[in-house]
Amino acid sequence: MSDGASSPETTTEIEEDPHEGGFRAHTAITTERGGPRYGEFSEQVRALMDNVRYACPPPEVADELIEQLAAINEKLDATRIDEWHSPSGTRIDLPARGNITLPPFEVTDVNDDGVFATVTFRDFHLGGNKAAHGGHVAVAFDDLGGYASAVAIQGVCRTAYLTVQYRSITPLNTPLQAHTWADRVDGRKVFTKGAIYDGDRLCAEMDALFIKLNPGQQ
């Protein structure tokens, strides 16, 4: 029995050696984890997060929702698995690789000029007065910057620092153009830049350092 708040005791570890450092698992990339409806499932969770951000449930509705959510959490708790085999983060066919903790993005191109993506901040990502929260903007940059760094240096990187210049309001529920690229590589260091635009308008810029992990490095 679980209260649904946290339940690591039920997380199933799969017996193999899935880890060689960083984010890299030995497990195969597959778009089949979670089944054919995992994308719909993720979208329902995102819709829940959006609705909760704006919801003001009257007490009787809250009573009902608490029961329903507790039942859902109990059901989900029973399906927990280790991070390497979880579909979230590995479903490369879905927005943000199926990771609902990231603002949903779709990578449109990866080439010598870097990574190009469309990112949409949703109601859940509200900072205030219809604008995206700056932290969520940084999350998008971290992931897409990490991607550009990994491509540039052909290895897994971790963020050493990441700064964001917020140039103008980043709107919600608007497909925005994101671009991240390796500006300079020096040994294991990838100096990476990024920008998010709403059409011609610059919303934010990133200046970051990603470090290529050594073999086995966490």
Ligand X SMILES: CCCCCCCC(=O)SCCNC(=O)CCNC(=O)[C@H](O)C(C)(C)COP(=O)(O)OP(=O)(O)OC[C@H]1O[C@@H](n2cnc3c(N)ncnc32)[C@H](O)[C@@H]1OP(=O)(O)O
Query: Interface with ligand X by CB under 6 A: which residues?
Result: 142-143, 146-147, 150, 158-161, 187-189, 209, 211, 217
- What count of other Cβ atoms lies within 10 Å of the Cβ of residue 73? 16
Nearest approach, Cβ of 46 to ligand X (angstroms)? 19
212 vs 23: CA distance, rounded Å: 11
Nearest approach, Cβ of 44 to ligand X (angstroms)? 24
Nearest approach, Cβ of 124 to ligand X (angstroms)? 19
Residue closer to ligand X by CB (options 115, 204) is 115
Residue closer to ligand X by CB (options 196, 209) is 209
Mark residue 205 as left, alpha or beta (left: phi above 0; alpha: psi -120 to 50; beta: remaining). beta
Which residues are within 8 A (CB) of 61 and not within 5 positions of it... i.e. 6 or more apart?
none
Which residues are within 8 A (CB) of 210 and not within 5 positions of it... i.e. 6 or more apart?
145, 146, 149, 150, 153, 157, 158, 159, 160, 189, 190, 192
Nearest approach, Cβ of 73 to ligand X (angstroms)? 26
Residue closer to ligand X by CB (options 15, 186) is 186
Residue whose C-beta lies closest to ligand X: 146
Nearest approach, Cβ of 14 to ligand X (angstroms)? 21
Residue closer to ligand X by CB (options 101, 217) is 217
Residue closer to ligand X by CB (options 131, 190) is 190
C-alpha closest to that of 198 among 137, 146, 144: 137
Query: Do 198 and 176 form a contact (C-beta atoms < 8 A)?
Result: yes
